[in-house]
A = this chain, B = another copy of it.
Amino acid sequence: MRDVAARAGVSLKTVSRAVNGEPNVSAAVQARVAAAVAELGFERNDLARSLRHGRSSATLGLLIEDVTNPFYAAIAHEIEQVAAEKGYLLITSSSQQQEERERELVAALTRRRVDGLLLVLGGGDHGFVAEAARTTPTVFLDRPPVGIAADAVLLDNRGGMHQAIEHLLEQGHRRIAFVSDPGELFTAAERLRGYREALTAAGLEIDDALVRLGRHDLGEAERIVEALLALPAGERPTAIVTGNNRHSVAAARALARVPNPVALVGFDDIELAELLARPLTVVAYDAGALGRHGAELIFSRLGATPAEQPPPREIVVPTRLIARGSGELGPSS
């Protein structure tokens, strides 16, 4: 920038004004600066800018488990879209479900002075985010904050699971298995609660042998479903509900290998679900909405003065059941 000033024969500050489109720069000077900028290939250093400017690195930070899961990709994409409209960029980082990585990455994002933090965190206490959340607008996505207060955008986990169970009950199922993540995970716990509530409301006993919670590693999940399917006649479930798209994929694979499949309803939609040999019935929702609302919550805080900051808010994204076939198999088919 100093070089540009020298080249254009003006002061540093004038270049700054010209480059940033501030008022009080004559057309002639504006043009001279523009020419110098072009000749020197100058690009404003936004790091230095935000340092002095005090605020705004014009960057948001997102922490998810893994972008290759379409659920997270949808979230990341929507955040990025909202951010782009405001001239913000997005740093996306993956925890790989490791709490240590979560800590490291929140710290790394904070050190870079992101203007907002969007977090999908695992179980356990989230106290390590408290400090960052004090100075940076922070939104929890998919899972609520634990141990601290902050905005959150969640799914209607229980409601969605009610839809799934009620749908299967209508088909005559009475032995419905639930395959999902470990119960430490908020979403798994809530969906399990929905599962229990719906069964209990129908006057059925909960058979804990049909509740299988394990990491959403595809291989392990497949083995869990295989074990369920290998149960003797009376104990075998006639339907399975999965707790997320990874488990749905695993269950679909395991089911494809047995001669006498059972009904399946997945939580979260899957591309091409309708073209599967056994079209997948799912509890669907707008995953991107988690990101979109989250980004909007961030920007609403960014646009408000400290005095105007509202108390923590919670947004719940609705679910809906899409029947495609796999969930319409009867108990004896």
**Interface residues, chain A, with chain B CB atoms under 8 Å away:** 41, 43-48, 50-51, 57, 59, 66-68, 70, 73-74, 76-77, 80-81, 84, 87, 89-94, 101, 105, 107-113, 131-132, 134, 249, 252-253, 256, 270-272, 275-278
Contacts and interface: CB of A to CB of B under 8 A. Distances in A.
A91 B93 contact: no
Contact of A277 (B73, B77, B276): B276
Contact of A92 (B90, B253, B270, B276): B90
A111 B275 contact: no
B68 A89 contact: no
7 contacts: A43-B107, A43-B110, A45-B51, A51-B51, A57-B112, A67-B77, A84-B93
A272 to B, nearest CB: 6
B74 A68 contact: yes
Contacts of A48: 51
A80 B253 CA distance: 29
A225 to B, nearest CB: 13
Given A51-B51, A77-B66, A252-B272, A46 B90 contact: no
Contacts of A105: 89
Contacts of A41: 131, 134
Given A252-B275, A275-B276, A73 B80 contact: no
Contacts of A256: 275
Nearest to A107: B43
A289 to B, nearest CB: 14
Given A41-B131, A70-B70, A87-B108, 11 more contacts: A45-B51, A46-B113, A48-B51, A67-B76, A68-B73, A77-B94, A80-B92, A81-B94, A91-B91, A249-B271, A272-B276
A111 B45 contact: yes
